[in-house]
Amino acid sequence: MADAVSRRRFLLRATALGCSAAASPLMTPMTFAQAPGENRLVVIILRGAMDGLDAVRPIGDPLLRQYRPGLGMSLDSAATELDGFFALHPALAELMPLWAQGDLAVAHAVSTPYRDKRSHFDGQDLLEAGTGADVDGAQARDGWLNRMLQVLPAAGSETAFAIGRSEMKLMSGRAPVSSWSPDGRLDMSPQARLLLEEIYHDDPLFHDTSMDALAIAESLGLASDDSFGMSSSDMRAAVKAASAAGDASVLASFAARRLNEEARIAAFSLGGWDTHRAQTRGITRALGNLKDAILTLRSELGPRWDKTAVVAVTEFGRTARENGTRGTDHGTGGAMILAGGAIRGGRVYGDWPGLEEAALYARRDLMPTSDVRSYIAWLMHGLYGLDKTTLGTVVFPGLNLADDPGLLA
Amino acid sequence: MAFTPDIAAIRFGEGLAPEIAAPASVEGVLDQLRGADLAAKEFPITPLSDLYGTFAKVSTLQKVARRGRKGSDAEELSKAYKQARRELNLHLEGALAPLLSRSITTEQPFRERLTRFWADHFTVVGKNNLTRNAVPSYTEETIRPHITGRFSDLLKAVMTSPMMLDYLDQNSSVGPNSRGAKGRRGLNENLARELLELHTLGVGGAYAQGDVRQLAELLTGMTTEISRGFVFRPKIVEPGAETVLGRSYGGGPPAVEDVMAFLDDVALHPDTVRHISRKLAVHFTSDRPDEGMIADMADAYAATGGELMAVYEAMLDHPFAWTSFGQKVKQPVDFIVSAMRVLEVPPASLRQLNRSKRRAYVTGPMTAMGQQWFRPSGPDGWPEEAEAWVTPQGLAARIQWAMAAPSAIFRSLPDPRSFVVAALGDVADEKVTFAARAAETRREGVGLILASPAFQRR
């Protein structure tokens, strides 16, 4: 098929512009590189700082209720009890069957190396850069998921998908990745395409991006030769698709469809975690979205779920105590959620530091006892066979991998 | 590249327009800010305080409907509330037409650009069903009148605006040791943190968690009421003085002047001076701006006590303002208004757009381009870097709009061969000019010109 498309383009180009087609990047058939094995990794960035102490509650510690009298911690949590000490937030109750099957796990009291200033934006930059705190995340040249692709044998441009409209810095860098939003389309006459390619020719950013867009839209069947019309039902459909494109289940469904094809790695973001006020309402909605994303992945991946690891990470946790407005402020240690048939679930990983004031970070936040990067590195080790040295120098430079927690089934 | 009128109109304006002269000099750009605000007068937008009465009315109807939801007239009450809410929202959504019309027709386009810049610097999102669509009204009242004044006045206007106090939760923050706390309520750090991190010093600034906490205490009492706007409530002010950034504020009887004294000080803090200067430079000139230009801007800021006109002037006077032409990519809103400006979309046809057409032509496509208008995902507003906007999905949405929207809005389109001159002036390149000639239809010709880097960049 790629050959036929190229040939048609060649002819069109020759007639439209009357010049050589040799230099056209459109001539290069899309590389359907052999994917690096069958294992799949989905990274969900929870933007806005998920309150790990609410998502995965240490109900066995009486201080939790004392610190958070207004956040619903005293409600019965029998239905979401995990291991006698921790319980899931009720909004995650539908994930309990996954826990029982060993497809859901938690790593608690985790953080990136980011400390003290508690800025969402710096915190997210560092989370996505995957470096130590000695590097300014905002100045980072690439993200850790891209660096993993750089060392992954047989990774092609369709191996990894960044999904949605928000920038995914963890996936940016030298290795080719695909980036698309579920509502994306690109419809142009062949002539317009050729002319556009000429116009973009000398502008590397526009050129490379448009080539990616055309290739992705085409391979996903989201491109046509007909011009997109705005007065017809096209337009209503486009508006509708655009407004749904950020929904958790739409993002997850798009991810699953890619992972069912060539893709092995997908990443997207979920927001709504910055619960400074009326947290019970806000986090219920946000966790509901996370739950929807995980369940959508499971149902749409079908048998591939068994080879999938989903990891949901956030920039930092929130204060151990509730603030004065039934919410929590920016903190440090938090939780990461792991799901998928590839995960050795049914357990909470990590060293629990306790909630006594002296055990808190700066006497206010959950003390982080392990680095999110270390867990992710071990996942990569297990899923893709990357060695510890590469992981600790290339993917997460400067990371001292802790002992293997044995996250994989 | 040195100053040319076309570059000035593209970089520091809303782009070229067939019937509107581009500024002849740097002075000409600054003159746009010196006279009366003509566009605001011609295309009015309701300032927020004019809405307080309506807010109060809708909110009362809501309460009445809620209270009477079990009574025999429950349906009527709920209908009355929903009708009032719908009318309010229709009115507020109607601000789209005047907003676009200002940008399309104005002879003072630098004013529109600066208004959007500062509205983004002080991002708010309407969080409840009354204020959901009220951001243009906030901008009109709180931002726009202050863009040519002192930064401290702008800052004080924002920090007493109901929209900001609600958005960053200041409204519900209470001094834990105040009488009003009753031992139950307490602080919320949200506004205090963003005030230092985003609005003034910048995240690299010289502040620590202790300053955030002290500032949160100092800000207690700054609240709003739906029918009145800003209200200072002494009863919930944390007792005692607070030390923020090494200076002490308050300590006497609760007074809003204590907060204002802090805002005056922080507006002149060297970190603020640098942060604001750099942010303007990044927005208008380059994602990697010239340090010398930033230093000039910061000097002008410091020398005048934060007179923004002096800062703008220092930026425009620096050669980098002109040599860096093309380094910025227009944000989706900038792209759409500059396209509409050169296409001369008439204000009357914008006024006639119903809700579904507004969505189809403007707000829906902007969302697909990555900018859901008035709904940025956080208080840091929209990203600046070209790479954040020129993504495969974002660029595809720009191309789709360029190819389809102009012909949907107009029955007839200009000839691409003349349109390329109208749209790009002296920044047109050979390739776009060729494409304008080679396109098979007017529609595609116009679309290609609008999708070109020459039009997308500034």
What ipTM score was computed for the predicted complex, to two decimals? Answer: 0.95
Q: What is the pLDDT of residues B167-181, one digit of tens each?
A: 999 999 999 999 999
**Between B127 and B8, where is the model more confident?**
B8
Sort out which chain B residues have CB atoms less than 8 A from A122's CB and list them.
Answer: 203
| Residue A137: partners with Cβ closer than 8 Å, 6 or more residues away | A114, A122, A124, A125, A126, A127, A128, A129, A131
Q: Is the pLDDT of residue A6 over 50?
A: no
- Give the one of B188, B208, B404 whose C-beta lies nearest to A227's C-beta: B404
How far apart are the C-alpha atoms of A382 and B144, rounded to whole Å? 56
- B264 to chain A nearest CA, in Å? 23
How far apart are the C-alpha atoms of B11 and B285, rounded to whole Å? 8
Q: Per the CB < 8 Å rule, is B390 touching A205?
A: yes
The answer to whether the beta carbons of residues B382 and B394 sit under 8 Å apart is no
- Interface check B403 vs A, CB under 8 A: yes
Q: Is the pLDDT of residue A166 over 90?
A: no
Instruction: Summarize the confidence of residues B93-97 as an average pLDDT.
Output: 94
Which B positions 207-226 lie with beta carbon below 8 A of chain A?
A: 208-209, 212
The per-residue pLDDT for A230 is 59
The answer to whether the beta carbons of residues A152 and A171 sit under 8 Å apart is no
pLDDT > 90 in chain B, percent: 92
Q: Is the pLDDT of residue B404 over 60?
A: yes
On the 0-12 / 13-18 / 19+ scale of CB atoms within 10 A, A154 is exposed
3-state secondary structure chain A: CHHHHHHHHHHHHHHHHCCCCCCCHHHCCCCCCCCCCCCEEEEEEECCCCCHHHHEECCCCCHHHHHCCCCCCCCCCHHHECCCCCEECHHHHHHHHHHHHCCEEEEEEEECCCCCCCCHHHHHHHHHHCCCCCCCHHHCCCCHHHHHHHHCCCCCCCCEEEECCCCCHHHCCCCCCEEECCCCCEECCHHHHHHHHHHHCCCHHHHHHHHHHHHHHHHCCCEECCCCCCCCHHHHHHHHHHHHCCCHHHHHHHHHHHHCCCCCEEEEEECCCCCCCCHHHHHHHHHHHHHHHHHHHHHHHHHHHHHEEEEEEECCCEECCCCCCCCCCECCCEEEEEECCCECCCCEECCCCCCCHHHCECCCECCCCEEHHHHHHHHHHHHHCCCHHHHHHHHCCCCCCCCCCCCEC
Q: Is the pLDDT of residue B190 over 50?
A: yes
The per-residue pLDDT for B47 is 97
The per-residue pLDDT for A30 is 41
- Interface check A348 vs B, CB under 8 A: no
pLDDT confidence bin for B36, thresholds 50/70/90 = very high
pLDDT confidence bin for A2, thresholds 50/70/90 = very low
Which letter, b or e, does each residue of A52-87 get, where b requires 16 or more Cβ atoms within 10 Å of its Cβ? Answer: bbbbbbbbebebbeebbebbbbeeebeebbbeeebb
Sort out which chain A residues have CB atoms less than 8 A from B404's CB and list them.
Answer: 227-230, 235
Tokens for B202, please give them. Answer: 């910048």
Q: Per the CB < 8 Å rule, is A324 touching B395?
A: no
Smallest CA–CA distance from A331 into chain B, residue: B209
- A21 to chain B nearest CA, in Å? 16
- Interface check A65 vs B, CB under 8 A: no
Q: Per the CB < 8 Å rule, is B368 touching A181?
A: yes
How far apart are the C-alpha atoms of B379 and B122, rounded to whole Å? 8
HSE, side-chain direction, 13 A CA sphere, residue A251? 27
* pLDDT, chain B, mean: 96
Smallest CA–CA distance from B197 into chain A, residue: A119
pLDDT > 70 in chain B, percent: 100
- For testing contact with chain A, the best of B223, B391, B420 (most A CBs within 10 A): B391
pLDDT confidence bin for A1, thresholds 50/70/90 = very low
Closest CA to B401 of B311, B349, B340: B340
Q: In chain A, what are the domain boundaries?
A: 39-182+245-395
Smallest CA–CA distance from B372 into chain A, residue: A243
Q: Per the CB < 8 Å rule, is A178 touching B394?
A: no
Smallest CA–CA distance from A277 into chain B, residue: B169
Q: Per the CB < 8 Å rule, is B434 touching A216?
A: no
- Options 2.60.40, 1.20.120, 3.40.720, 1.10.3470; CATH of A39-182+245-395: 3.40.720
Q: Is the pLDDT of residue A7 over 50?
A: no
Q: What is the pLDDT of residues A278-293, one digit of tens each?
A: 999 999 999 999 999 9
How many other CB atoms sit within 10 Å of the CB of residue B41? 8
| Residue B414: partners with Cβ closer than 8 Å, 6 or more residues away | B343, B422, B442, B446
Q: What is the pLDDT of residues A56-91, one digit of tens each?
A: 999 999 999 999 999 999 888 889 999 999 999 999
- Give the one of A165, A209, A323 whose C-beta lies nearest to B370's C-beta: A165
pLDDT > 70 in chain A, percent: 89
Q: What is the pLDDT of residues B52-92, one digit of tens each?
A: 999 999 999 999 999 998 889 999 999 999 999 999 999 99
- Interface check B404 vs A, CB under 8 A: yes
- Helix and strand counts by DSSP (H, E) for chain B: 27, 4
How far apart are the C-alpha atoms of B436 and B446, rounded to whole Å? 7
Sort out which chain B residues have CB atoms less than 8 A from A329's CB and list them.
Answer: 188-190, 193
- B51 to chain A nearest CA, in Å? 25
Q: What is the pLDDT of residues A208-233, one digit of tens each?
A: 999 999 999 998 988 888 766 655 67
pLDDT > 90 in chain A, percent: 77
The residue to which tokens 């968690």 are assigned: B209
pLDDT confidence bin for A8, thresholds 50/70/90 = very low
- For testing contact with chain B, the best of A214, A224, A329 (most B CBs within 10 A): A329
The per-residue pLDDT for A16 is 36
Give the alpha-carbon dihedral of B322, B327, B329, B330, to 10 degrees.
-10
Tokens for B359, please give them. Answer: 């969505």
